Structures are given as structure tokens and as C-alpha cells.
């Protein structure tokens, strides 16, 4: 009986070792990387999907997936908490999260660093032509959507409204996603929708195919006030011809998007992810032309917060000097 128990014990040990040999290393090798993007009506989601595909294909033992989220503000919080490890974020929101500014982050600094620069967002304030709204200050007393809660669009819209002296209680804000905003404009349940997104976003393109739209321009005086309130913003023109019926350039406000990551991610992992991203940029451009801005050079030109050591390692290999202000 004793010999039988010993045999059973030894068999169990051998079986357990076999299982560990078969499954243990395989489980340890695969690293899951989640990317916080935005809603399906903007560019973040398809862009993030393209990045996920690049990383899954070209980074050994990595499986990446793009997650639908509330966008920039939520992505900072998700990355900080570890619910995602990568986030697509507008530059002004990245600064607010990194520094822990009061507006959306209640004074709490978030554990994030910059990984790559994506492309510039343009503020696109859209109304239907038939409503006759041609100045942003006409939103007083109107039904609007400033973007979904937790999004960079909502953050930027509120920053712009505050700079222009437009009080929050002077308009009725539905805070809808991009797709919902386009539908609400189409249905007449709102009169103005706000997008902060790369030009040529699908939700506005779709709206413009069925309705005559007007994209509200900012006056030089308004631009001056807005830029004074946020140094991450710049005055830019939305090119004519991007949307049906909008033939002339529209003066507006721009901000760069940044791909953030958890500061605690290993440098080797971030290095491999960044290397694959830049070396497969041509594939990402096929997903959306805005990816033409996703370059190593732009990482040091436009990053609003310090870079991750893994990114710095790659940049130095390419002979790109990293300014002291971008060192973590």
C-alpha cells in the first residue's frame, strides 16, 4: 500500500512537471497589450486597430487589441490604473493627467509617459447651414454636444468655451459621442456639435453627404484668447474640400495627439513596440492618412510630456537627439 502511494505521488509530480513544461513557458511568453482608443465614429479606433495589428504581427509574443473607450480623459485614467497599458490621448489632456490638474484629474498625478506622437487634431465645430449659426459665441441658448464625457473633445471644448467667456450654464449640452452628435444634428435634436479629431472623420463625412453643413471658423480675436489659455494649442486651418460643401479653408484650433503608456512598462517592451510602429508606418497610413505624422522626428518635436525610456532608446539608436525636457 505504501509503495502504491509513493508511485501515485511520483506520477503526480511527473504529470505536473509535464503540464508546466507544456503550458508554463507558452503562457509566460504571450503578453497582452490593450490600447485605449475612443468611439467608432472618430479616428482613434481605426488608428488603434491598425497599431494593434502591427504589434500582434511584428512584435514577438505580443498580442494587442484596440478597446472602445470614452477617449482621452478616460484613457489616461485607464492606463494609470492598469486597465489598459497604452492610450491615445490629446496633448492637452496628457499634460493635465501627467501634472494632475484640477479640471478633470482632481489634483492627482497619473503614472503615464509619452510613447509616440500620432497626428494633429483639429477642432471642428459643426452646424447645419439652415440653422444660420456662424460664430461660436452663438451657442448661448442653444442645444449642443461638446463631446462624450471623458473625451478629449469635451475637455478641449470646455477649455475653449471658458477662454471665450461662454459660461457652462448658457447652453444645453448633451455630451454625445461623434456618431451620436452627427445623428443628433441630422435629427435636429442639437444645433451645434463639436469634434476634436483628425480631418476627414467618418461621422462628419457621412453627415455632409446628406445635409449641408457649416464648420464654424474662429476669428483672430477668438484664436488669440484661446491660445493664451492653453500653450498646447495652435492656430491652424482646416483645408477646404475635406467635407462636401466646405470648399474654403476654415480657421480653427489644433492640438497634437500622443500615444501614452504606463510609466512602469519595461523599457524593452516599449522599445519593441515603438520600433514596430515606426517601421510599419506605411501600413498604418493605409488605415488612415493622418498616420503620415507618426514619425520618430515628431516624437521629439511635439511630445507634450516626457518620453518613456523605451522610446528614448529607439530614438537614440536612430541618431535623434532627445531634449532634456522630455527625459523622464
Specify the pLDDT at position 3.
Answer: 44
Question: What's the DSSP call for residue 318?
Answer: T
CB atoms within 10 A of CB 300: 19
Q: Which three cell numbers stand for residue 233?
A: 494649442
| Phi-psi category of residue 107: left, alpha or beta, with phi > 0 → left and psi -120 to 50 → alpha | left
Burial of 28 (0-12, 13-18, 19+ CB in 10 A): exposed
In degrees and rounded to multiples of 5, residue 123 shows phi and psi of -75, 120
Listed by start position, the domains of the chain span 26-118+258-326, 122-255
Return the CATH superfamily for domain 122-255. Periplasmic binding protein-like II (3.40.190.10)
Secondary structure E strands in 38-111:
62-67, 86-90
Q: Which three cell numbers stand for residue 254?
A: 489644433
Q: CA–CA separation, 143 vs 101, rounded Å? A: 29
CB atoms within 10 A of CB 264: 11
Model pLDDT for residues 45-68, shown as the tens digit of each residue: 999 999 999 999 999 999 999 999
Same fold, 26-118+258-326 and 122-255: yes
Specify the pLDDT at position 86.
Answer: 98
Positions of the chain with pLDDT under 70: 1-28
Q: Candidates 3.40.50.970, 3.90.228.20, 3.40.190.10, 1.20.120.530; correct CATH number of 26-118+258-326?
A: 3.40.190.10
User: Dihedral through CA 91, CA 93, CA 99, CA 101, nearest 10?
Assistant: 140
Amino acid at each position: 500500500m505504501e509503495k502504491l502511494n509513493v508511485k501515485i505521488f511520483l506520477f503526480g509530480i511527473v504529470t505536473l512537471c509535464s503540464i508546466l513544461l507544456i503550458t508554463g513557458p507558452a503562457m509566460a511568453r504571450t503578453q497582452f497589450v490593450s490600447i485605449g482608443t475612443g468611439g467608432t465614429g472618430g479616428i482613434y479606433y481605426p488608428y488603434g486597430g491598425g497599431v494593434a495589428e502591427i504589434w500582434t504581427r511584428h512584435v514577438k509574443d505580443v498580442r494587442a487589441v484596440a478597446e472602445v473607450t470614452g477617449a482621452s480623459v478616460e484613457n489616461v485614467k485607464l492606463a494609470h490604473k492598469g486597465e489598459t497599458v497604452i492610450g491615445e490621448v490629446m496633448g492637452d489632456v496628457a499634460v493635465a493627467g501627467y501634472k494632475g490638474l484640477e479640471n478633470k484629474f482632481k489634483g492627482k498625478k497619473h503614472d503615464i509617459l509619452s510613447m509616440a506622437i500620432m497626428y494633429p487634431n483639429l477642432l471642428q465645430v459643426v452646424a447645419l447651414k439652415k440653422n444660420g449659426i456662424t460664430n461660436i459665441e452663438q451657442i448661448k441658448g442653444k442645444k449642443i454636444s461638446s463631446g462624450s464625457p471623458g473625451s478629449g473633445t469635451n475637455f478641449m471644448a470646455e477649455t475653449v468655451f471658458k477662454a471665450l467667456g461662454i459660461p457652462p450654464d448658457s447652453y444645453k449640452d448633451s455630451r454625445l459621442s461623434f456618431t451620436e452628435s452627427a445623428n443628433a444634428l441630422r435629427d435636429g435634436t442639437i444645433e451645434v456639435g463639436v469634434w476634436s479629431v483628425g480631418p476627414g472623420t467618418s461621422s462628419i463625412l457621412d453627415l455632409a453627404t446628406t445635409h449641408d453643413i457649416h464648420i464654424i471658423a474662429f476669428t483672430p480675436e477668438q484664436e488669440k484668447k484661446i491660445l493664451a489659455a492653453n500653450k498646447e494649442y495652435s492656430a491652424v486651418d482646416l483645408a477646404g474640400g475635406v467635407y462636401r460643401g466646405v470648399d474654403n479653408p476654415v480657421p480653427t484650433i489644433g492640438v497634437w495627439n500622443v500615444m501614452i503608456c504606463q510609466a512602469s512598462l519595461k523599457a524593452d517592451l516599449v522599445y519593441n513596440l515603438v520600433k514596430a510602429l515606426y517601421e510599419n508606418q506605411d501600413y498604418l497610413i493605409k488605415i488612415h492618412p493622418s498616420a503620415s505624422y507618426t514619425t520618430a522626428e515628431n516624437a521629439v518635436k511635439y511630445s507634450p510630456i516626457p518620453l518613456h525610456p523605451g522610446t528614448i532608446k529607439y530614438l537614440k539608436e536612430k541618431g535623434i537627439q532627445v531634449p532634456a525636457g522630455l527625459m523622464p
